[in-house]
Amino acid sequence: MAPQELTWKQAAAWRARRHWLDERRPCADPVAVASAIGGLHAQVMSSAELSVWARADGLPPGAGVAQALWDDRTLVKTWAMRGTLHLLATTEYRTFQAALSQRRHYFTASWLRGFGLTADEMSHILETVPKALRGQLLTREGLAAAVSPKVATSWGSLLKPSAFRGELCFGPNAGQNVRFTHPETWLDLGPPAEPEHAARCVTRRYLAAYGPATRVDYAHWWGGLSPAQAGKLIAALGDEVVAVDVDGVPHWMPAGVEPDELAPLKTVRLLPAFDPYVINASPHAEHLLPAPEHRKKVFRPQGWLSPVLLVGGLLQGLWRSERTGSRVVVRIEPFLPLPAWARKAAETEAERLAAFLGGELDLRLADPG
């Protein structure tokens, strides 16, 4: 039985294990990674691939994620949590989509006013998008021609409601142009899921990967929820979850956690920009950083997140890489001096990264004063 009081170091160790950041799984399948952590963040596709690389062995460089998306169709790209782009396991698409379908913000007066739409115009978009996409792969311009010119004036805000309703997902690009299609055309899907049941499933999946969590944490991760609504969804899981205090603050996590799952970790990972582990940490990042002043280095303006050096589940530095001819230059900047074991592990991670990117490593590992 899990203890009722945890430290943040224990909480981070448990969460890192659930994210496959304790040891890489012998699995080249990005679908398994996406399923384990509740989706891959896909605002930047190269980051999604590196999120898989950080957790699994055997991923083919430049091919694994793309093959799952466009050839095997075992991953699907769509707007999901927080209205941001994610890659979801196709087998779980119905569940996430049904939970998202409960959103109705796009008919509020303030939302319509912000996009210069009337309720009738929004209804027209929602009615015509699925008709235009069935059996088709359309660029944004092609979709705008079939639906409304206003669809082309915003990157995704007017299309996200259709994604939430299960009537739009991404297809393969046509050159540099993004294309959309209907999920029921593109994917092999089972029957629709019931929204309330789906919301419980998503809540369960969230806590399984991101606990211990508060209702604020869950509301932040999902988006479109108030903390009170998030708390009701957690409470609805009943005895599937347990309350724990993390350094004196009430949190929730799945029932049945074993004490050895909370043991300290001695692992190092280079997490890419926008890695889901780091995104979820935003509301409580001060507990995972060596000092508060480092927060702005990780969580940057306009929603950008830096690549992070993860040590034992804690955010302990930054890194970046660039290709220069045959070399892959990797710069690692710890916030504090690393112990010898962590420094060696960081060097090993850089070697793995260079090999994955197909270049010769040129490592610049800073030694903070």
Question: Is the whole-model pTM more than 0.85?
Answer: yes
The confidence band for 369, taking pLDDT boundaries of 50, 70 and 90, is low
Task: For 266-308, write each residue's pLDDT tens digit.
Answer: 999 999 999 999 999 999 999 999 999 999 999 999 889 999 9
Per-residue pLDDT averaged across 228-234, rounded?
A: 97
3-state secondary structure of 115: coil
CA distance 25 to 48: 17
Residue ranges of domains in the chain: 5-186, 262-365
Per-residue pLDDT averaged across 314-324, rounded?
A: 97
Per-residue pLDDT averaged across 67-85, rounded?
A: 96
Task: For 242-270, write each residue's pLDDT tens digit.
Answer: 999 999 999 999 999 998 999 999 999 99
3-state secondary structure of 256: coil
* Contacts of residue 176, Cβ cutoff 8 Å, sequence gap at least 6: none
Is the per-residue pLDDT at 1 higher than 50? no
Q: Give the angle subtended at the CA of 269 by the CAs of 344 and 73, to the nearest 5°.
A: 145
The strand pair at 249-254 and 241-246 is best described as antiparallel
Per the prediction, the chain carries an average pLDDT of: 94
Percent of the chain scored above 70 by pLDDT?
Answer: 98
